[in-house]
Chain A
Amino acid sequence: MPAPLEGLKVVDIGWLMVGPMSARYLTELGADTVKVESGKRLDPLRGLGPFKDGQSGPERSLSYHWINAGKRGLAVDLKSPRGPDLVRRLVAGADVFIESFTPGAIDEMGLSYARLAAANPGLIMVSTGILGRKGTMGLGMSGTGMTGSAYAGATNLVGWPDRAPTGPHGPWTDSVAPRFVVAATLAALHRRGATGKGTYIDLAQAEAGIQFLTPAYFDFAVNGMVAGRSGTAGSPLRAPCGAYPCAGADRWIVIDADTPQAWDALRGLLSPSLDDSRFSTLVGRLRSRQTIDARIADWTRTRQPAEAEALLQDAGVPAHAVSNDQELAFDPDLEAAGYHRRIDDPLIGEGWIPGPQYRLAGTPHVATRAGPRIGDASAEVLTGELGLSAADVAGLKQEGVIE
């Protein structure tokens, strides 16, 4: 059974997460993806960990392997006069081109959509600027997912009302935007199947982030309510519902025992500390939230998160440890789902990265492979895709155009 996108050609000239992760979604569906970078302008992700065995090095970043799994590496110096020309020729034969330069920079390289589409009208090109390309602030606006999170409204929503916002973990929009890029791209591919027409997609990472926060936006637009940081976990409409301390440094569990069944189960498990008849109704629990939370915390504080989670779930209480990165790596449920996949790389040896984000029952994803080493397929791509001779390739190498 061929993979869904077998034969599709993708050129990924992105960096960090949004563009490259979007290209990975397509790669694991069978697309042949060429990742364009250069030894002179490395993808900064190569400098970010986590690194295999904690030793840094451009080929040792497991984040890089995760986000670029299965791609072929073409190392081109885009500052050399002939570099962009090679990319242009490559894109002329490609189906999808994803770029995440500062908006406008791609035009200066002679790789604007207008120019590329003239040679390849079926091309689907995606630009993933922080604030997009269109609009007065688009061109020239650079930043990371931290910037995107701030403009999406996420930064301001996470943290405590009495303190500066902390924002969510890391460059949050990096984890949101790829889904919208991929959905838009797959929809465009579907239409192209019928019409032969490609398109240009200008996706602002911050605007993708806003899609995950629209209930708060509607609260403002309709009620005039500007949502702020609540600090506490869970909903003010549910009780008990929150994060409780566990044994160990900075260890926590969430418990969400709002429904009558869950509440009865929790009460039974912690008996007699929650037996008070005032706690029997939701309204009673909302009014006694602090007392109830304190009694639950007395119980959780002496237990490891995994132990408390098992006891609570066995009793019928929705609960889960606030998983840290070590637990994510060895969680039995993720293990059962085969989420972490082994890769073998000639340089770092064995490594583990997440497989696909979802499962296809009929036409499975391709096997999860390592990310490319810098330029590991330069010669192969130039001869195979552009028809260059070995002598041409050697010449380009000598001139420093490719590596």
Chain B
Amino acid sequence: MLSDVRVLELSAPATMLAGQVLGDLGADVVSVEPPGGATGRRLPPFIAGPLNAESSLSWHALNRNKRAITLDVASPDGRAILGDLLPHFDIVIEWIKRGSCLEGLPRPDGLIACEISAFSRGGPKAGYLATDLVLSAAGGAAAMAGDPDRPPAFFPVPQPMMEAGAEAAVAALAALAARDRLGKGQTVEVQARVAAAFASMGRLVAGRSGDHPFRRAPPGALGRMPIVPGMYACADGWVTITVAFGPAFVAMTQRIAGWLVEEGALRPEVARENLLEVALNAARHDGDPEPVEQLVSALVETCRRKSKAELVEISKRHRFMAAPAMDMADIASFDHYRQRGLFAPQAVGEHLVDTPARFAQFADYQIEVRRPAPRLSQHTAEVLSEFAGLNQLELQALFAQGVI
């Protein structure tokens, strides 16, 4: 797809997914790290055992299909070499803390500079100290997640670096579309906070709509209707099951009741009740909610004895909505993902891992792991001799000085 596109990524946590998406789509991506290694090499989780520049699994997960060089871009030589590299590249992706590393260097006309910053540049929070957790909080989605009696819920895997990275891939490709048409490069700016705010979805428009603000609150009881859970514990984890009594969904709930009768967990009389009416009466009037209570407790009890996979199978057979809250082991062994070809083999240190690389299936293109994540400085000599014309002696001199 992008086999004619070359990308220079000045590595930072938020650039990693951007470079990888472009690499997956066929671009030739070179990641530039400071001589001590990129920040991404110190992101957990780590391969069990000795800790070093090759241990970070976040690095391995987000840097396939790239070559890596080290270069101290703040040194005079590093700066000059960066300037020599630019004409060979179509896209530069960079995390902006204060200014761009490219400032003052001659920019080729066609160059696309994709700049990612934490907050708005020149805005009131431009000087903010930002970490992934700070950006998550600023994005807003966390305020609306988790149990209302406890603090907001965050992902254990940092999300803003992913969100900003994916957005930057889109932004760079939008600029490429513009260049394909007009022949000129340009600068595109991505803000990690704006990228993170996207996960607030519809709530992004709430504050100015005049509609109600969001409140984390326990589900409210309606009349005598019991609280119906959405998440059910099963033998090996959790399953979400839609148990609803509105006109659009009640037929599905009747089918759940039918299944529970088959399982011997529910009396047939209960399944024969008109659950829409029972629920309406219990919610609005003083109707007896017992059939609903019995259905829910039978469902809770029956789920405990079944596995996630069994419940999904049952939901297909009985036509109701259930989805397994998959963990990473489930994902690794899920036949459907295997059949789709989601996984491609990738070397990770001594291990060979099936990585879920193929984020899309194309009719006539396949995402492949053409290269595993690069070792520190693995391609410095190769890339700098190819694009910056450096010979062996010059490379050694730069190494001796700590520039590479």
A residues near B, CB below 8 A? 1-2, 4-5, 17, 25, 29, 48-54, 62-63, 65-66, 113, 131-132, 134-138, 143, 146-147, 150-160, 163-172, 174-176, 179-184, 186-191, 193-194, 197, 199-204, 207-208, 210-223, 225-235, 237, 241-243, 245, 250, 252-254, 256, 258, 262, 313, 316-334, 336-337, 339-340, 351-354, 357-363
Q: Count how many chain B residues have C-beta atoms less than 8 Å from C-beta atoms of the other chain.
A: 144
A23 to B327, CA, bound (A): 31
Q: Give A237 to B46 CA distance when docked, in angstroms.
A: 12
How far is B171's CA from A360's CA once the two chains are assembled, in angstroms?
A: 8
- A197 (CB) vs chain B CBs: closest residue: B364
Are A323's CB and B204's CB within 8 A?
A: no
How far, in angstroms, from A52 to B140 measured CA to CA in the complex?
Answer: 21
List, in ascending order, chain B residues with CB within 8 A of A325's CB.
140, 143-144, 200, 203-204, 206-207, 213-214
- Determine the distance from Cα of A49 to Cα of B202 in the docked complex, in whole angstroms: 7
Which of A50, A214, A226, A326 lies in contact with B355, CB distance below 8 A? A214
Among the stretches B80-88, B129-137, B375-383, the one at the interface with A is B129-137
Q: B216: nearest residue on chain A (CB-CB)?
A: A250
B336 partner, pick from A131, A194, A202, beta carbons under 8 A: A131
Contact present for A179 and B167 (CB under 8 Å): yes
30 contacts between A and B (CB under 8 A): A25-B174, A50-B206, A53-B209, A153-B327, A153-B328, A163-B147, A164-B229, A164-B231, A165-B238, A168-B145, A169-B203, A170-B202, A175-B198, A187-B2, A190-B1, A199-B362, A208-B359, A213-B157, A218-B355, A222-B349, A237-B44, A250-B148, A318-B128, A321-B138, A324-B213, A325-B144, A333-B123, A334-B193, A336-B120, A360-B178
**A322 adjacent to B238 (CB under 8 Å):** no
Q: From residue A169, how far is it (CB to closest CB) to chain B in Å?
A: 4
User: Which A residues are CB-close (under 8 A) to B336?
Assistant: 131, 135-138
Q: Apart from A217-B61, A220-B328, what 7 extra A-B contacts exist at CB < 8 Å?
A: A135-B337, A186-B176, A226-B327, A252-B137, A252-B143, A333-B193, A362-B187
Contact B177 A190 (CB under 8 A): yes
Instruction: Please give, as numbers and ranges, the residues of chain A lying within 8 Å of B186 by CB-CB distance.
Output: 360-363
Chain B interfacial positions (CB closer than 8 Å to A): 1-2, 4-5, 17, 21-22, 25-26, 43-45, 47-48, 57-58, 60-62, 119-120, 122-131, 133-148, 150-157, 159, 162-163, 166-171, 173-178, 180-182, 184-191, 193-195, 197-216, 229, 231, 233, 237-238, 240, 321, 323-332, 334-337, 339-342, 348-349, 351, 353-356, 358-365
